[in-house]
Homo-oligomer: A and B are copies of this chain.
């Protein structure tokens, strides 16, 4: 029984195949089992028809209706991935559309030439024993559908196949983005490309490219070359590279929205052009994280002239209809101290810094309009003076977004999607741009265009960024694509684990880099005990990392905290087993063997880490965690032992354990154990043995 349940458990957590869980059969009470849906994001409608389309080495794809290079390239990528998974050599190129062709991609037209927020991304898939037909009004719709087809791939001992299915799908929100901050830490072309591939895999459609910051200016600017020459440490994208990324994104139906964050967040601009600043300078590239004073001077015409030159170059480079001007977190301290700016405000009748920034934005808007661009900016730009065709990007939340919508402004949500803050996927999954209790009218709700996950890059390098973005961002992608009612967290995690493996074929490093980082830290091939620890801890949440373990933008991000990830898998597995074990009271048998094994491994790993740390000074900072690891193992094993015997522990044990748990709950090296609550549950269950039982669980 235990073994069988353990298998079911493995299936629930990580099963990749469309598996038939006996539980779901029982629930559905059907004679034939219903396959599980392994798609992410979940489509708007799906119906299995019991058919099965075999995938073998005669598998061919043909197009019907419209075809173009972008579609052909997308099909070629599809075939390549299908071959990679199945190790089948398929015929290259497209087949002719006939009865023998297994997949027909039927496009009505090309869609928008430049990817657009108004693109029709819908598609329909019909799979029977004989053929799969993917139909879409646009090439982008077909690209979305091809990802769904690949996710449908399944296998059993008879071979690979696509299950018979009818899917009709379209996104809930038209703006589904990922912000990548390449300013605080530069990201290579390769990193951006593989992340674009991953975005396409989960149907995200906007790369929000955060290109400038206090800590770096990352675009070549031909008109003002000192911007990138002095503001980037040599790490910037040339015009050619930017075009390459835009083309790569377009090929995958993804828009590229650049952000140039002004008037604040602009230290790196001022290194080369201090005359744009509101204080005389000189300026150097900022190396710390945080909010800084430097801001462009909104009182000087030369600044607008500069921006006109700069933005016209950027507007020509980036084809998207939107351009993000940032506008956030400018506290105006430089403005307060600058007599000329103060005089300017007086002269113009501008009451405060808020008003001054509104004046700046109004000027900026005119420049953008002249260059054919719509403005998007953070919450702070929302000012009555600004016209209704700007987009509000809300870091504040759905209330701010709703308020903007009521005023007639389009908006997108990032509050709740700050993936740099190391929250679990479930946290982001719960954040909805249009929550169920929204009071917006349907017309107002249309102004809520979607949202964006934000990969702020204070603490990520090309080596670690994938593990900060993926797989969690897929949960956000689902929130933005799928219906609000798709909200089962357990099922989301089940599908996330499947997707996570699939992302690897696109070159994503979120899984494979961890072992490498641990090997470097351990200076050894054998990382077992360290891996055990890392599977149970997570980096501290929100902004506590810097407080606990200050570093600069030039520091190596190669520590244990960098190797650790959100949603620590060992901790999630442990919590799941503890729940099942305790629910099995008073037998306490379910998962007992597995829990004992896991907890013993903690004890052993805790002991084995000592010599490892002695050999690797970079591990010294986790020394306090090794004690915690052993003690968590001790408490867990002792609690299980009490529960097994039905014998309550002593008060001394309870007190000692409580104090050890309190100690283990403390973060060290900016890492915290995620298993403390589950171990505490075990402890409390043991303690309760000595108290009158309130209810006897039914068997």
Binding site for B on A (CB under 8 A): 10, 14-17, 80, 83-89, 92, 155-160, 190, 497, 501, 504-505, 511-513, 515-516, 519-526, 551-552, 554-556, 558-559, 613-618
Considering only CB atoms, which chain B residue lies closest to A560 in the complex?
B87
Choose among B85, B519, B615 the residue that contacts A618 (Cβ–Cβ < 8 A): B85
A-B contact pairs, 28 of them (CB 8 A): A14-B525, A15-B524, A16-B523, A16-B524, A83-B556, A83-B558, A85-B520, A85-B523, A85-B558, A86-B617, A87-B556, A87-B558, A88-B618, A89-B555, A89-B556, A157-B615, A160-B617, A501-B519, A501-B520, A501-B523, A501-B524, A504-B516, A511-B515, A511-B516, A512-B512, A512-B513, A512-B515, A512-B516
Find out whether the CB atom of B525 lies under 8 angstroms from the CB atom of A501: yes
Find out whether the CB atom of B155 lies under 8 angstroms from the CB atom of A89: no
Which of A160, A504, A523, A613 has most B Cβ within 10 Å? Answer: A523
Find out whether the CB atom of A519 lies under 8 angstroms from the CB atom of B504: yes
Considering only CB atoms, which chain B residue lies closest to A83 in the complex?
B556
Q: A287 → chain B, closest Cβ, in Å?
A: 9
Q: A189 → chain B, closest Cβ, in Å?
A: 8
Interfacial chain B residues near A86, Cβ < 8 Å = 556, 617-618
Considering only CB atoms, which chain B residue lies closest to A613 in the complex?
B157
Given contacts A14-B526, A515-B512, A618 and B92 within 8 Å (CB-CB): no
Q: A449 → chain B, closest Cβ, in Å?
A: 35
Q: A501 → chain B, closest Cβ, in Å?
A: 5
Q: A153 → chain B, closest Cβ, in Å?
A: 9
Q: A603 → chain B, closest Cβ, in Å?
A: 18
Once the chains are docked, how many angstroms separate the CA of A304 from the CA of B520? 53
Choose among B84, B158, B524, B615 the residue that contacts A14 (Cβ–Cβ < 8 A): B524
Interfacial chain B residues near A501, Cβ < 8 Å = 519-520, 523-525
Once the chains are docked, how many angstroms separate the CA of A697 from the CA of B525? 34
Interfacial chain B residues near A519, Cβ < 8 Å = 501, 504, 511
Considering only CB atoms, which chain B residue lies closest to A519 in the complex?
B501
Find out whether the CB atom of A17 lies under 8 angstroms from the CB atom of B88: no
Once the chains are docked, how many angstroms separate the CA of A428 from the CA of B321? 58
Interfacial chain B residues near A520, Cβ < 8 Å = 84-85, 501, 504-505
Q: A387 → chain B, closest Cβ, in Å?
A: 43
Interfacial chain B residues near A88, Cβ < 8 Å = 556, 618
Q: A495 → chain B, closest Cβ, in Å?
A: 14
Q: A202 → chain B, closest Cβ, in Å?
A: 18
Choose among B87, B511, B554, B556 the residue that contacts A84 (Cβ–Cβ < 8 A): B556
Find out whether the CB atom of B84 lies under 8 angstroms from the CB atom of A156: no
Interfacial chain B residues near A156, Cβ < 8 Å = 614-615
Find out whether the CB atom of A87 lies under 8 angstroms from the CB atom of B559: yes
Find out whether the CB atom of A617 lies under 8 angstroms from the CB atom of B83: no
* Tally of this chain's copies: 2
Once the chains are docked, how many angstroms separate the CA of A405 from the CA of B159? 58
Find out whether the CB atom of A17 lies under 8 angstroms from the CB atom of B617: no
Interfacial chain B residues near A512, Cβ < 8 Å = 512-513, 515-516
Interfacial chain B residues near A87, Cβ < 8 Å = 521, 556, 558-559, 618
Interfacial chain B residues near A14, Cβ < 8 Å = 524-526
Interfacial chain B residues near A10, Cβ < 8 Å = 526
Once the chains are docked, how many angstroms separate the CA of A512 from the CA of B507? 12
Considering only CB atoms, which chain B residue lies closest to A190 in the complex?
B190
Interfacial chain B residues near A526, Cβ < 8 Å = 10, 14
Once the chains are docked, how many angstroms separate the CA of A552 from the CA of B156? 26
Q: A569 → chain B, closest Cβ, in Å?
A: 9
Q: A194 → chain B, closest Cβ, in Å?
A: 10
Considering only CB atoms, which chain B residue lies closest to A153 in the complex?
B523
Considering only CB atoms, which chain B residue lies closest to A551 in the complex?
B89
Given A88-B618, A157-B617, 12 more A-B residue pairs with CB atoms under 8 Å apart are A14-B524, A80-B556, A86-B617, A89-B551, A89-B554, A156-B615, A157-B614, A497-B525, A501-B519, A501-B524, A511-B515, A512-B516
Interfacial chain B residues near A554, Cβ < 8 Å = 89, 92
Considering only CB atoms, which chain B residue lies closest to A193 in the complex?
B190
Considering only CB atoms, which chain B residue lies closest to A233 in the complex?
B92
Q: A570 → chain B, closest Cβ, in Å?
A: 12
Choose among B89, B157, B558 the residue that contacts A552 (Cβ–Cβ < 8 A): B89
Interfacial chain B residues near A559, Cβ < 8 Å = 87
Interfacial chain B residues near A616, Cβ < 8 Å = 155
Once the chains are docked, how many angstroms separate the CA of A84 from the CA of B526? 19
Q: A29 → chain B, closest Cβ, in Å?
A: 26
Q: A55 → chain B, closest Cβ, in Å?
A: 9
Find out whether the CB atom of B617 lies under 8 angstroms from the CB atom of A155: yes
Interfacial chain B residues near A83, Cβ < 8 Å = 555-556, 558
Q: A491 → chain B, closest Cβ, in Å?
A: 17
Q: A546 → chain B, closest Cβ, in Å?
A: 13
Find out whether the CB atom of B558 lies under 8 angstroms from the CB atom of A155: no
Considering only CB atoms, which chain B residue lies closest to A552 in the complex?
B89
Interfacial chain B residues near A17, Cβ < 8 Å = 523, 615
Once the chains are docked, how many angstroms separate the CA of A451 from the CA of B125? 56
Q: A507 → chain B, closest Cβ, in Å?
A: 8
Considering only CB atoms, which chain B residue lies closest to A558 in the complex?
B84
Interfacial chain B residues near A89, Cβ < 8 Å = 551-552, 554-556
Once the chains are docked, how many angstroms separate the CA of A88 from the CA of B505? 33
Q: A445 → chain B, closest Cβ, in Å?
A: 39
Considering only CB atoms, which chain B residue lies closest to A617 in the complex?
B159
Once the chains are docked, how many angstroms separate the CA of A523 from the CA of B522? 29
Once the chains are docked, how many angstroms separate the CA of A88 from the CA of B521? 12
Q: A530 → chain B, closest Cβ, in Å?
A: 14
Considering only CB atoms, which chain B residue lies closest to A161 in the complex?
B617
Q: A498 → chain B, closest Cβ, in Å?
A: 9
Considering only CB atoms, which chain B residue lies closest to A514 in the complex?
B512
Q: A172 → chain B, closest Cβ, in Å?
A: 29
Interfacial chain B residues near A513, Cβ < 8 Å = 512
Considering only CB atoms, which chain B residue lies closest to A508 in the complex?
B516
Q: A17 → chain B, closest Cβ, in Å?
A: 6
Interfacial chain B residues near A190, Cβ < 8 Å = 190
Interfacial chain B residues near A511, Cβ < 8 Å = 515-516, 519
Once the chains are docked, how many angstroms separate the CA of A526 from the CA of B14? 8
Find out whether the CB atom of A615 lies under 8 angstroms from the CB atom of B551: no
